[in-house]
Amino acid sequence: MILSLITETERAQMLANGRAQAVGQAIDPLPVVRLFTPDAHVTWLLASLDPVDGDMAYGLCDVGIGMPALGTVKLSELVSIVGPLKRPVMRDLYFRATRTLSEYTRLAQLNGSIMD
């Protein structure tokens, strides 16, 4: 079910980013995937996965209240979330990161939401 949110290629890149972070490498990766709720204005730009559990993702989370922040979320929990119109979390099929995670975060905090 988790693979409905991310592809195998995205999962591999997120795990690689997670392994780099786990060994203390100072990286500022591009977000790998953009997930969103089509009916609730919630967005996640995820860059890495915990290499131990393969479920805890790290990235920029915007729950639609004007305070986007870096944090973690379990992919297994995202698959059960639905918005007010019962629409599930979806993967943005057309998302291609154009900035590093820190730059998306800086801009989102200035604007109160993820702009891309």
pLDDT confidence of residue 69:
95
Structure tokens at 35: 């997930």
CA dist., res. 31 & res. 97, Å (int):
6
Q: Is the dihedral of CA 56, 84, 114, 6 positive or negative?
A: positive
pLDDT, tens digit (0-9, with 9 covering 90-100), for 44-68: 999 999 999 999 999 999 998 989 9
Nearest to 14 by CA among 37, 26, 32, 28: 32
Structure tokens at 95: 């998302």
Residue 1 has pLDDT above 60, yes or no: no
Q: Name the amino acid, one letter, at 112.
A: G
pLDDT, tens digit (0-9, with 9 covering 90-100), for 8-44: 999 999 999 999 999 999 899 999 999 999 998 899 9
pLDDT confidence of residue 115:
82
pLDDT confidence of residue 3:
60
Sequence-separated (6 or more) residues with CB below 8 Å from residue 14: 6, 32, 33, 46, 47, 48, 49, 57
Coil, strand, or helix at residue 18?
Answer: helix
pTM listed for this prediction: 0.92
